[in-house]
Amino acid sequence: MMGAILLRGAAFALVWWMLAEGRADSWGVGMVSVAAAVSASLYLSPPGAGRLSLAGLPGFAGFFLMQSFRGGAQVAAQAFRPRIDLAPALLELPVTLPEGPPRALLVNTLNLLPRIGNPTRRVGLSSTLAAPVNRRFRARKPRKPPVSRLLYRLSPGQVPLAATFRATGACHPMTSDGLSLT
């Protein structure tokens, strides 16, 4: 508990330092704000139960930045293509991540992933954990799409993903994207 308070206090103090742009005379208000922020965070997200793997965070951040860049570049290229030949579809993806923060993180990260599925065209969306699939699904050996890499990334830490991946042979829009959770 003490550790959590110190850690969060340091984090919020850092945020305050940024917000105040380093001005020293603002720390009176700053201390009050930091204290309020710490108590709010303790109330909303009690410590314990291993929420976030700090060790895994840098790796995830790098992965996220990389994929954001690829995703943005793909969508931008697609937007400027003379002919729009997108064929969006919904992809149901069963997950066993617990409700709450872990699942929210997954969904929000999926939003930024580049093409999910196979070669040719790429589109995406994400709604009820839906992921984008392509028009021409003919790849016999589906490569591991980013979504499964993401789930791998999220699973080994303290976020339990009681599931293992296996690549299936078939890709069908609306059913599975060359991967399934078992």
User: Which residues here bind other proteins, judged by CB under 8 A?
Assistant: 15, 17-22, 68-69, 71-80, 84, 86-90, 104, 107-109, 111-112, 114, 123-128, 130, 132, 135-138, 140, 172-174
Q: Token pair for residue 145?
A: 């799409």
Residue 16 or 165: the one with the smaller Cβ distance to other proteins is 16
Residue 66 or 162: the one with the smaller Cβ distance to other proteins is 66
State the CB neighbour count (10 A cutoff) for residue 38. Answer: 20
Smallest separation (angstroms) from other proteins to the CB of 95: 14
Residues 142 and 157: their CA atoms lie apart, in Å, by 26
Q: What is the dihedral of CA 10, 159, 112, 21, to 10 degrees?
A: 0
Smallest separation (angstroms) from other proteins to the CB of 1: 26
Smallest separation (angstroms) from other proteins to the CB of 135: 6
Q: Token pair for residue 121?
A: 């065209």
Residue 81 or 162: the one with the smaller Cβ distance to other proteins is 81
Q: Is 168 exposed, middle or buried (0-12, 13-18, 19+ CB in 10 A)?
A: middle
Residue 2 or 80: the one with the smaller Cβ distance to other proteins is 80
Smallest separation (angstroms) from other proteins to the CB of 170: 8
Residues 149 and 89: their CA atoms lie apart, in Å, by 21
Residue 125 or 163: the one with the smaller Cβ distance to other proteins is 125
CA 182 to chain CA centroid, nearest Å:
21
Residues 157 and 154: their CA atoms lie apart, in Å, by 6
Smallest separation (angstroms) from other proteins to the CB of 164: 26
